[in-house]
Amino acid sequence: MKKIVILGCENSHANAFLKHMKTRPELAHIQCIGVYSDDVAAAQKLHDEFDVPVMASFDEAVGKVDGIVITARHGDHHYQYAKPYMDSGVPMFIDKPITCTEADAVEFLSQLKAKGIKVTGGSSLRHAFEIVQLKQACAAQVGGATVGGIVRAPLNMDNPYGGFYFYSQHLVEMVLEAFGRYPDAVQVTAAKDAYTVLFHYGDFTVSSLYTVGSGEYYAARFAKNGTQGGYVANQGNEWYYAEFKAFADLMEGAEPDLSYEELFSPVFVLNAIDRAITSGQRELICYPEV
């Protein structure tokens, strides 16, 4: 039996993960021995539904678990919650945004890498079937070289969970997973309830649209002689399963599907977008050397 805790359980991921552990035979060997949230009501709700213990502090399970799941809504809590468990070297799942600040990202990445901790996470949208297909089309150069693309995803700016950073990684993760983890620069144009973001790669540019108050997802790739993609069907339950299964596999000895740098790259892209919203200028993306 593999024992885990869920730290920051106020979003839909915690509920979905617990349901999958309860209903999927291949996850039946995983036991959640505690949940923690600074929103006490959220933790209590999971206790009432799944009979999981509520932890008094996020660090009380150190030395007692085989892995940790961090799904706090505010990205500023993620590194904080992970720190006490890092010396034990247990695998980790970190929800989006991995962190809000670049400083936290650099320190977090450095510690994970130095200790050899296996980690997965980010936005569940990278597991969407349509995004996986686009990634494969880009890699195989279906229809020829990529000449551009377009991606759409929701945005929530008015929230107590980091504002722009709370929901914005979904779009960024879709772009990076399909077209490449390291765009060079971004530009932003703001309109009413929408932000157009250009992701500049070496040989092409991907146009994207954040829409406030909408739940639509879309992703397409333009090749020299063809187009792939379209609407991305909201299959949240399946996305949650895919990302939790990836974490479960780490506890069984599997290797992460992304490098540390690839997993953390959205943080630096998001910060560049945030700067571009303010400056109105093209902003270079500053990836660290760790």
Give 78-106 pLDDT, tens digit per residue: 999 999 999 999 999 999 999 999 999 99
**Domain extents in the chain:** 2-123, 125-236+268-284
Above 90 in pLDDT, residue 271? yes
Q: Answer yes or no: are the C-beta atoms of 156 and 237 closer than 8 Å.
A: no
Above 80 in pLDDT, residue 290? no
Cis peptide before 97 (omega within 30 of 0): yes
CB atoms near residue 168 (< 10 Å): 27
Q: To which CATH superfamily is domain 2-123 assigned?
A: NAD(P)-binding Rossmann-like Domain (3.40.50.720)
Do the domains at 2-123 and 125-236+268-284 have one common CATH topology? no
Cα separation of 28 and 50, whole Å?
14
CATH fold of 125-236+268-284: Dihydrodipicolinate Reductase; domain 2 (3.30.360)
- The candidate with the shortest Cα–Cα distance to 264, out of 239, 241, 240, 287, is 287
**Continuous segment of H or E residues that includes residue 277:** helix 260-279
Q: Answer yes or no: are the C-beta atoms of 258 and 164 closer than 8 Å.
A: no
Cα separation of 132 and 241, whole Å?
15
Taking residues 256-266, what's their average pLDDT? 98
Residue 101's pLDDT is 98
